Amino acid sequence: MQIVGIDTGGTFTDTVILTGDGRIGVGKALTTHGRLMEGVIASLAVASRSLGKSLREILEVTDILSHGTTVGLNALLTNAGAKVGLLVTSGFEATLPMARSNKVHGLPDEDSINALKWRKPDLLVPRRRIIGVRERIDVDGNIIVPLDEEQARQSIRQLVARGAEAIGIALMWSPVNGSHERRLAELVAEEAPGLHVTLSSELAPRIGEYERTATVAMNAYVAPLVGDYLTSLDEALRDEGFSGLFLIVTMGGGARRASSLHDAPIHLLQSGPVGGIMAARQIGARLGHADVLATDVGGTSFDVGLVVGGALPTASRPRIDRHSLAVPVIDLASIGTGGGSIAYADPELGVLRVGPQSAGSMPGPACYGRGGTQPTVTDAAVVLGHLDHLGGALILDRDAARSALAPLAGKLGLEIEEAAEGILRVANAQMADLVRRASVQRGHDPRNFVLYAYGGAAPQHVGRYAAEIGVKAIVIPRLAPEFSAWGAASSDMRTSYEIELPARPLQDFRDGEIDAFGRLEQRARGEFEGLAEASLAGAVEIRRKIGLKFSRQLHRIDIEVPSSRLGRAEIAAAEAAFRSRYEQIVGRGSAHAKSTIELAAVVVEARMPIVMPDSAPTGMRGALRPSRQRRAWFGGREQETPVFLWAELGVGVVISGPAFIESDQTTAVIYPGQTVTTDVDGNLTMTVPAVHKRSPSPSIGEFA
Amino acid sequence: MTIGPIELEIIRHRLEAINADAGETLVRVSGSQIASEASDFNTAIMTADGTVISCSKFILVQSTSLNLIVRDILDRYGENPGIGRGDQFLTNDPYLGTLHQPDVTLVAPIFHGDRLIAWAGSTVHEPDVGGPVSGGFNYAARSIFDEAIPIPPVKIVEAGSVRRDIERDYLARTRTPELNALDLLGQIAANRASERQVLELCAAYGTDGLVHAMDRLLASTEAAFRRRLIELPDGIWRENSFIQHEQRSGADYLPNQVYAVRLAMAKAGDKLSFDFTASDDQAPGAVNSTYPTLANFTMAAVLVHICQGLPWMPGAIWRTIDIHTRKASIVDAEWPAGVAMSTGTSAQAIRNCVSGCLARLLDGSAAHAHMAMASSQSSGAGGMSISGHRRDGTPFTTLFLDELSGGGGATVRADGSDTSGTATSPGATPSNLETNEAYYPVLYLTRRELADSGGPGMRRGGVGAMHAYRPHQTDRSIALLSMAQGLQHPATMGAAGGEPGLPSGFAIMSCDVPVAVSSGWAELADATDFRLPDAATRLYPDQILVTSSQGGGGFGDPLERDPAAVAMDVLDGLVSVGNALRDFGVVLRLDGDQVEIDRDASEAARKARLKVRLGGRDPRTIEGPVSGRRLSSHFRAVAVSGGEQVVCAVCGHGICDAGEDIYASLAVHEAVAGERSAITDRYPGSERFRIRHFYCPGCARQVDVQVALSGDPVLEAIELPFPRNPTETRP
C-alpha cells in the first residue's frame, strides 16, 4: 500500500510519500496563497521526482492520500468566507454579536492589558443576516412555542434577499430536541434549494448557545470555499490518475474522508498543527514514549501540543482566531514567537523584548536579503553563525543581519553578538514558558515527558528552550521539517459523534437503553461505507463513551462503556473510572467529595486503523566526519564548529556540542555540553546537562 | 547572577506565565461555575512585603489591594501564629483587603530556605459565605452584624497541610459548602503552583537575583508611569457619581436614599492624588465601600485607563498615588458599617469618578488624548443573587451575572464596544442562558442588544443589553436581590461632550406582556409599575422579570457624528430611526434593507439644534483649527495682553480669562434625568436628578455633560493652574 501525506503550511507545502516497499519521498514547494491547490500539486510533483517518478506514476499507485490544509483557516483570516444567513430562536438574535461580552479572551497578552485594543471577536455574520424565528424549546426538550413555519419561510426568503450564500441554524436547546432545526432545514431546501445548510444539533450538539451558534456561523462561513477546494483538488488528483481514498486531517485528531467534510468543514480548520501532534504520537509509539510534549517552531508561531498516555487531549474551551468552538479540538497552545519575530528595546522598561510583531516571509528577516531591516530571531541566529542557509536555496546574508542588529545593540549598550545571544535567550525563554504553561496548566509535570521538536526552525532552537525545562529526553525526528505531512500520512481514519444533554444523575440511566448511542453510531459508521470492500483497511472499531461530571462542575470526562445499556455493574465501573481519571487530571484526593456523578454527554468514536508500510532501513551510512567547519559563537566566543550532514550520519553515533547537523531543510544546533545520538530511523535524541535541582512537585493529595 | 536587560525580560515574562498558570490551575481544580464560566476570580504574585508585581486580568479589582492583607499578616502574625513555609492564610474581610465578604482570598508566603521572598495569592467570588441572607446581599443590614461576619486572616494551611478545624469553621458558615470546598482546593493548588515555579526561578537566578529583578521591574514600571504622568498636563479634575439605597426594614428604615461619591483628582508633575473627602457620609449598611475597595477600584481604573502600553503592576503604581478620604464616609466605611453590596454600588461610583477624571486629564494632552475613554457600564440591573426552590423541593441560590453585558466607553477614535461589560473586570463573562436554564427553574424570553442605549457622541458608546426571564417548572416564587444601580439617572458618563449611556432598567411584568418581540423599553413602559428592587422583591410564576444593563458613554458632540455611521447603526438595529434624529440630528429613512440619509434635512436639523442650544441665537461660524495650548478637546489657552485666555478650539470664541471657572461662562441646558429614556422618570427618586449639558457660547458645540442632584452648584470639572508655562511634551 502506498500512502501520501501533504501539509499546506503558512510558508511551505510539504509532501511525504510512503511507498509500498518502504521508501520515503519528500517534497517541498512554496505555499501559493489564494491558489493553494497549485502548491499542493507542485509539492507532490517534487516529492514524486525525489523517488525518480512522475506525478502520474505516483498517484496511479497511491492508495490513500491524506491532506492537512489551511484553506478554511485562510478563508477565516482573510475574511474571504461566505455571506452567511443565520436563523436563531426569536428573542436571541444577539447571541453571536454579544459573544458573552468577550473583549479580551484570545487576545495576545500585550493587547489584553491595553484597553484601546479590546474588542469582540470579528463578527462573521452581520446583524442584518441574523433573523429570529418564532419557536422555543426548553431544557427538557418540551416545545414551549411551536415553530411558526410561515414566519420561518419569510425569514429564509429575507436572508436570501440579503445575499445569504450559506445558511446556519442554531436554536435554543437543539441538542435536546433538534426537531425544529431539522424542519427549518427542510424549509430552507424548499425556499432556497442548493444553499449550504448547517444545523447546530448535528454539527455541534453541545449545551451553551453562544459557542454552538459561533460554531455554526463559522462552519457556514467557510463551507462554500472549502467545498470548492475539496472538489477541485479531488478532480485534479483524479485527472492525474489518482483513484484511491482522499482523506483530510481534522482538528479533532485523525483523518476523515474529504467527501464527508463538505457538510462539516469546520473540522479541518486547524488541521496542519494537528498533523504534527499525530506524527508525534505515532513516532512516540514506535520509540516507546507515551507522554510527549510536541513542539513546533515555524516562522511566525510556536505551537505546543501534548500526547498523554498515547492519547491526544482535547481543549476544554477551544478557540480559533478568538472564535469559540463547540466541537472537539486537539488541545494546542500557541504564541507568536518564531524565526521572523522582531526584537526591540522596550522604551518603558529598558528591557530587550522579542515579538509578537513578525517580519513574516515577505520581506522576512534582514538576512533573507529581501529588504527586511528589522532585527529578527533568525537574524540573531545568523549573526552568531548558527545558521547560514535555509531550505537549500536561500543563502543568508550575515552582514545584513549584523546591520539590522546594530542599532538595537547600541540602545542596550551591548556588542552585536551579545544582543544576538540576548534575542535568542529571550525568544527561547518565551518558548520554554509556553511549554511549561502547556503542561503545568493542564496539571502535568514536564519532567515526565519526552519533548519532540519539529517544524523548520525547531531543531535550531530546541537545545535552548528544552534544556532548562528539564524534560526526560529530547527527540528531533528525521522528518522534522515535513513532520505535519508525515503526520497526515500516518494518521488513522477516525471520526466521533457526540451529543450533550442536560446533566442528570448517572444512576437514573440504570437498566435503560441510552438511545442516543444508536443514532450516533449509525452516523459514524456511515462515514466508512464501502471501505471494507475496497480492502483499504481493517474493520471499523466502535467505542461508546459517556461524558460524566460531578454536579455543578466543569470537567466532563468521557468514560468508555461496553454497551448502550448500563446495568448496576457497568455504572459502578464507570463511576470508578471517572473518579480515578478526575483525580489524575485535577489532583489526588480531589474526588473525595460525595457529589453526585452526572451523565452529561454521549459519545461514539469510530476508528479504522491504516497500516503503514514498514519503512526500509534508513540507508544512513558513513562514519562520523564533519563535512565542514563553520565559525560560530557559543558561550560568548567564536569558534570553529563542525557541521555534520544529517543524511550521512550512521546509526548510533554520538555527537557532542558545539556542532551543527544539517539537512537541506533544517539545521540542528547542538550546544556545548549537549550530545545527540542517532537511531535506526535517523531521529536525533538529545541529552542535556541536568538543570538546577527542583523543589518537589506537590500533589493535591498532600493537603486535601 | 547579574540581572541585565535580557534576564529582566525573561523573569518578567516568566512571572506573568507563572501567574497565568496559577489562574488555570485554580479553574481546573475548582471547576465551579463562578470561577470557570464567569471568570469571577483573580490571582497575583507579590514581593516579600506584599507589593503586587503580577496580577491576572479577569476581575482586576480583586487583586490590586492584596498588599493590605499581606501587610496585616506580616504586622500581626509574625510571632503568633507565625508565618512559615507551606502556610496559607484565608480571609474575606473587606476592612482588611477584600472587596466584600463573598470574595474569599488565600495568600501564601513563599520561602527560599528561611528567607521570605514572595507571596502568591488569589481571590474567588463564592456563591455564599453565610450570614442572614442567602447569597450574602442584605438590603436591610443595619450594620455588618446583619451580613456575613468577615473572617480575618486565618492560617488554613499550615506547613503544607490543611487545618481541618479551620476548614470546618469556614465551611460551616456557608449554604454552599461543596462549591466553596472545591474553590478552596483550587486556590490552595494555585498558590502551591506559583510557589513551586517561583522557587524554580530562584534556583535559576539565585534568590538575590530574583528579588533584585522584582525590585527592578517595580522600579522601572514606576519610573515609566511617572514619565507618563509628567507628559500629561497638571490640573484638577472633578467628577461626581451617585448611588441609591433602599433599606426596607428594620429600625433604621431609610427609604430611597442617595449617596454621592465626589472626587477631585489632582495631577502635578509625576504625582496623582485622589481626594474623596467631599463624598457623603456612610450608609448604615450594605452599600458602603471600605478603604481596600476604594483603593482597588481606583487602582484598577488607573491601570485600565492610563497604563495602556505599560505593564499592569499595581505595586509600582501604588507608589505614585495618594488617596485622601474621610473616615465614616460612603467610600471609607468605619466598622461596623455593612459593606456586602459595595462592588455593585459605591465601588462603581468610585470607578466612574476615577475614569471620568482620567478621561478629562488625558483629553488635555495632544499626545495622549486618544487614550481618553468614556465610562463603561457600572452595575446594571441583571446582576443579582437569586434563590428559591425547584419543583422537587430542593433549594437553590446563585448569582446571575446577566448585567455583565453593558456597553463600553467610546474614545476619540472608536465607538465603545457593544455589550462588552465593565472596563475594570475585562475577563468577566455572563453565562450562557442554557447554563442558567439547566440548573435553575427559569425560562428566558430574550437576551438582546438594547437599541439606543449607547451614549450618543461623535463616537457612540457601546449598547447595553436587555434580558427577560420567568419562573419555569416551579410553582413557587423566586427571591431576587438585584444590585441594580443607575435606575434613576444615567451612571455611565460620556467624555469630551459625549452623552451618558442609557440608565439601567428593572421591572416585573405580567407574563402576557409580549416582551420577546418588543423593541425596547418604550413599548413596555406602560405595562407595569416601575418600582425599585428591594429586599422583598419576588418573582411569581405568572410574572416576567425584565432588566437592562447600561450603555457606555459617548465621546464628543453627537451632532458631529458621521451620518453614515449613524446609518450603519440603524441597519444593525443599534440605533432606531427616530432616535437617529433625536440623538444625532440625522434624518434617514429605512426602506426594507436600505437606509437612505437625507443630507439636507440632517444638516438643517443639526443647525436648528445648535440654535436651540444657544437659546435661538445663530451659532458662530467655525473658522478652522484654533492654535494655542491644548486644555481639552474643546478648549485652548491663547496668549492675550496681560495673560492667557481660554477659547473654543473650533470657533475661537473667547470663553473666559485663564484661571476663571470655565463652566461659569458656558451655555447650559438642564434636562430631566430621563431625557433619553422611556422609564427612568418612572422610578421614584429620579426627580432629584438632572442632566446638565454644557455648550460653547460661540459655536454651540457640546463640550461636557454632567449628571447632578437638582439644585447642586455646577461642578467645575476642569480646573487648570494659570498662569504657567506649557509643560506638555509632544512626541
Q: How many CA atoms lie within 13 A of A192 on its CB side?
A: 24
* Residue ranges of E strands in B555-597: 588-591, 594-597
pLDDT band of residue B94 (cuts 50, 70, 90) is very high
Q: What angle do CA B359, B355, B67 make, to 5 degrees?
A: 130
Minimal CA separation from B140 to chain A, in Å: 30
Residue among B498, B492, B633 nearest B555 (CA): B498
Q: B429 and A102: CB-CB below 8 Å?
A: yes
Q: What is the pLDDT of residue B608?
A: 96
Least confident of A391-400, B32-41, B340-349, B691-700: B32-41
Final residue of a structural domain among A189, A218, A247: A218
Question: B432 and B444 in contact (C-beta within 8 Å)?
Answer: no
Q: What is the pLDDT of residue B64?
A: 79
Q: Which residue of B has its CA nearest to A111?
A: B309
A415 and A521 housed in the same domain: no
Predicted complex ipTM:
0.94
In a domain, A312, yes or no: no
CATH of the domain at A565: 3.30.1490
Residue among A661, A656, A693 nearest A674 (CA): A656
Nearest to B17 among A115, A116, A433 (CB): A433
In a domain, B18, yes or no: yes
pLDDT band of residue B135 (cuts 50, 70, 90) is confident
As a whole number of angstroms, the distance between CA B679 and CA B520 comes to 11
Whole-angstrom distance between the N-terminal and C-terminal Cα of chain B? 37
Q: What is the pLDDT of residue B401?
A: 87
Nearest to B24 among A100, A441, A693 (CB): A441
CB atoms near residue A540 (< 10 Å): 18
As a whole number of angstroms, the distance between CA B604 and CA A561 comes to 74
As a whole number of angstroms, the distance between CA A445 and CA B199 comes to 15
Question: B539 and B528 in contact (C-beta within 8 Å)?
Answer: no
In a domain, B162, yes or no: yes
Final residue of a structural domain among A572, A592, A608: A608
CA distances to A103, A340, A426, B8 from A353, rounded to whole Å, are 25, 14, 7, 10
Residue pLDDT, tens place only, A526-539: 888 877 656 566 68
Provide mean pLDDT across the span B260-277.
97
Kindly give the pairing relationship between strand A659-662 and strand A637-645.
parallel
Question: A280 and A305 in contact (C-beta within 8 Å)?
Answer: yes
Beta-bridged to residue B253, according to DSSP, are none
Q: Which residue of A has its CA nearest to B309?
A: A114
Q: Which residue of B has its CA nearest to A118?
A: B417
Minimal CA separation from A353 to chain B, in Å: 7
Q: A703 and B196: CB-CB below 8 Å?
A: no
Q: What percentage of residues in chain B have a pLDDT greater than 90?
A: 73
Beta-bridged to residue A225, according to DSSP, are none
In a domain, B413, yes or no: no
Q: What is the pLDDT of residue B676?
A: 94
A513 and A594 housed in the same domain: yes
Question: A103 and A119 in contact (C-beta within 8 Å)?
Answer: yes
Average pLDDT, chain A: 90
Q: B572 and A426: CB-CB below 8 Å?
A: no
Q: What percentage of residues in chain B have a pLDDT greater than 70?
A: 97
Provide mean pLDDT across the span B333-356.
95
Biggest CA-to-CA distance, chain B: 83
Question: A27 and A44 in contact (C-beta within 8 Å)?
Answer: yes
Q: Is the pLDDT of residue A704 over 60?
A: no
pLDDT band of residue A505 (cuts 50, 70, 90) is very high
User: Can the peptide bond before residue B723 be classed as cis, meaning omega within 30 degrees of 0?
Assistant: yes
Residue among B379, B386, B345 nearest B261 (CA): B345
CATH of the domain at A158: 3.40.50
Q: A698 and B160: CB-CB below 8 Å?
A: yes
In a domain, A143, yes or no: yes
What secondary structure letter does DSSP report for B332? Answer: B
In a domain, B490, yes or no: no
Q: What is the pLDDT of residue A317?
A: 83
Single-letter amino acid, residue A247: L
In a domain, B131, yes or no: yes
Computed from CA positions of residues A487, A489, A493, A496, in that sequence, does the dihedral angle turn out positive or negative? positive
Residue pLDDT, tens place only, A13-41: 999 999 988 889 999 888 888 889 999 99
Q: What is the pLDDT of residue B28?
A: 81
A418 and A523 housed in the same domain: no
Nearest to B373 among A115, A127, A590 (CB): A115
Domain span at residue A602 reads 493-608
Q: Which residue of B has its CA nearest to A412?
A: B5
Provide mean pLDDT across the span A217-242.
96
Q: Is the pLDDT of residue A699 over 80?
A: no
Q: Is the pLDDT of residue B727 over 60?
A: no
Sort out which chain A residues have CB atoms less than 8 A from B419's CB and list them. Answer: 94, 97-98, 101
A206 and A118 housed in the same domain: yes
Question: Which residues are within 8 A (CB) of A584 and not within 5 positions of it... i.e. 6 or more apart?
Answer: none
Q: Which residue of B has its CA nearest to A172?
A: B434
Nearest to A94 among B16, B305, B449 (CB): B449
**DSSP string of B346-372, one letter each residue:** HHHHHHHHHHHHHHHHHHT-TTTGGG-
The more confidently predicted of residues B30 and A677 is A677
Q: B185 and A105: CB-CB below 8 Å?
A: no
Write A397-401 long-range contacts (CB < 8 A, 24+).
Answer: A397/A366, A397/A367, A397/A368, A397/A369, A398/A367, A400/A366, A400/A367, A400/A369, A401/A365, A401/A366, A401/A367, A401/A375
- The number of distinct structural domains making up chain B is 1
Burial of A268 (0-12, 13-18, 19+ CB in 10 A): buried
Write A231-238 long-range contacts (CB < 8 A, 24+).
Answer: A232/A37, A233/A37, A233/A40, A233/A67, A233/A258, A234/A258, A236/A37, A236/A41, A237/A59, A237/A65
Residue pLDDT, tens place only, A512-567: 889 899 999 999 998 888 776 565 666 889 999 999 988 877 778 899 999 889 99
Q: What angle do CA A240, A244, A246 make, to 5 degrees?
A: 90
Residue pLDDT, tens place only, A67-107: 999 888 888 888 889 999 999 999 999 999 999 999 998 88
Residue pLDDT, tens place only, A492-503: 889 999 999 988
Residue among A212, A88, A107, A118 nearest B420 (CA): A118
What secondary structure letter does DSSP report for A618? Answer: -
Residue entry with cell 514498514: A614
Beta-bridged to residue B309, according to DSSP, are none
Helices (H), B103-242: 164-172, 177-205, 207-231
As a whole number of angstroms, the distance between CA B186 and CA B170 comes to 15
Q: Is the pLDDT of residue B358 over 70?
A: yes
Sort out which chain A residues have CB atoms less than 8 A from B6's CB and list them. Answer: 351-352, 422, 425-426
As a whole number of angstroms, the distance between CA B21 and CA A619 comes to 45
In a domain, A563, yes or no: yes
As a whole number of angstroms, the distance between CA B468 and CA B307 comes to 37
Provide mean pLDDT across the span B67-76.
96
As a whole number of angstroms, the distance between CA A188 and CA A147 comes to 14
Q: What angle do CA B120, B123, B125 make, to 5 degrees?
A: 170
A-B Cβ pairs (cutoff 8 Å, strict): 248
CA distances to A564, A568, A571, A596, B730 from A511, rounded to whole Å, are 10, 8, 10, 18, 77
Q: Which residue of B has its CA nearest to A127?
A: B572
Q: What percentage of residues in chain A have a pLDDT greater than 70?
A: 94
As a whole number of angstroms, the distance between CA B68 and CA A72 comes to 51
CA B369 distance to own-chain centroid: 21
Q: What is the pLDDT of residue B725?
A: 47
Sort out which chain B residues have CB atoms less than 8 A from A550's CB and list them. Answer: 31
Q: What is the pLDDT of residue A619?
A: 57
Q: What is the pLDDT of residue B526?
A: 87
Residue pLDDT, tens place only, B706-721: 999 999 999 999 998 7
Sort out which chain A residues have CB atoms less than 8 A from B308's CB and list them. Answer: 114-116
Sort out which chain B residues have CB atoms less than 8 A from A161's CB and list them. Answer: 593
Q: What is the pLDDT of residue B575?
A: 97
Sort out which chain A residues have CB atoms less than 8 A from B57's CB and list them. Answer: 104, 112-113
Q: A207 and B434: CB-CB below 8 Å?
A: yes
In a domain, A466, yes or no: no
In a domain, A203, yes or no: yes
Beta-bridged to residue B105, according to DSSP, are B91, B123
Q: What is the pLDDT of residue A532?
A: 63
Q: What angle do CA B630, B634, B638 make, to 5 degrees?
A: 45
Single-letter amino acid, residue B637: A
Nearest to B308 among A97, A115, A555 (CB): A115
Nearest to A440 among B193, B419, B571 (CB): B193
Minimal CA separation from B82 to chain A, in Å: 19
In a domain, B177, yes or no: yes
Q: A441 and B16: CB-CB below 8 Å?
A: no
The more confidently predicted of residues B621 and A123 is A123
Q: What is the pLDDT of residue A695?
A: 45
A516 and A412 housed in the same domain: no
Residue pLDDT, tens place only, B530-572: 888 888 899 999 999 999 999 999 999 999 999 999 999 999 9
Average pLDDT, chain B: 92
**Ordered strands of the B235-247 beta sheet:** B321-324, B271-275, B254-268, B235-247, B718-719
A88 and A199 housed in the same domain: yes
Question: A696 and A447 in contact (C-beta within 8 Å)?
Answer: no
Provide mean pLDDT across the span B303-321.
91
- Out of A388-402, A663-677, B79-93, give the one with best mean pLDDT: B79-93
- The number of distinct structural domains making up chain A is 3
Q: What is the pLDDT of residue A702?
A: 41
CA distances to A278, A450, A477, A597, B651 from A285, rounded to whole Å, are 11, 12, 13, 33, 76
As a whole number of angstroms, the distance between CA B696 and CA B652 comes to 10
Q: Which residue of B has its CA nearest to A596?
A: B178
Question: B122 and B43 in contact (C-beta within 8 Å)?
Answer: yes
Residue pLDDT, tens place only, B147-156: 999 999 999 9
In a domain, A520, yes or no: yes
Whole-angstrom distance between the N-terminal and C-terminal Cα of chain A? 54
Q: What is the pLDDT of residue B152?
A: 97
Q: What is the pLDDT of residue B586?
A: 98
Least confident of A156-170, A390-404, B217-231: A390-404
* Residue ranges of E strands in B616-686: 629-630, 635-640, 643-648, 654-657, 667-672
Q: B426 and A112: CB-CB below 8 Å?
A: yes
Sort out which chain A residues have CB atoms less than 8 A from B217's CB and list them. Answer: 349
pLDDT band of residue B252 (cuts 50, 70, 90) is low
Domain span at residue B138 reads 5-221
pLDDT band of residue A394 (cuts 50, 70, 90) is confident
Q: What is the pLDDT of residue A391?
A: 67
Sort out which chain B residues have CB atoms less than 8 A from A97's CB and list them. Answer: 418-419, 449
Sort out which chain A residues have CB atoms less than 8 A from B312's CB and list them. Answer: 113
**DSSP string of A516-542, one letter each residue:** HHHHHHHHHHHTTTTTTTTTSS-PPEE
Nearest to B17 among A348, A437, A468 (CB): A437
Q: Is the pLDDT of residue B578 over 90?
A: yes
Helices (H), B232-382: 291-306, 314-318, 346-363
In a domain, B9, yes or no: yes
Q: What angle do CA A21, A22, A28 make, to 5 degrees?
A: 120
Provide mean pLDDT across the span B589-612.
94
Sort out which chain B residues have CB atoms less than 8 A from A104's CB and list them. Answer: 57, 426-427
Minimal CA separation from B404 to chain A, in Å: 7
Question: B201 and B214 in contact (C-beta within 8 Å)?
Answer: no
Q: Is the pLDDT of residue A703 over 50?
A: no
In a domain, B90, yes or no: yes
Write B113-118 long-range contacts (CB < 8 A, 24+).
Answer: B113/B207, B115/B207, B116/B48, B116/B83, B117/B47, B117/B48, B117/B198, B117/B202, B117/B207, B117/B210, B117/B211, B118/B45, B118/B46, B118/B47, B118/B48, B118/B198, B118/B214
Provide mean pLDDT across the span A355-380.
88
- Residues A73-94 as b or e (16 or more Cβ within 10 Å = b): bbbbeeeebbbbbbbbbbbbbb
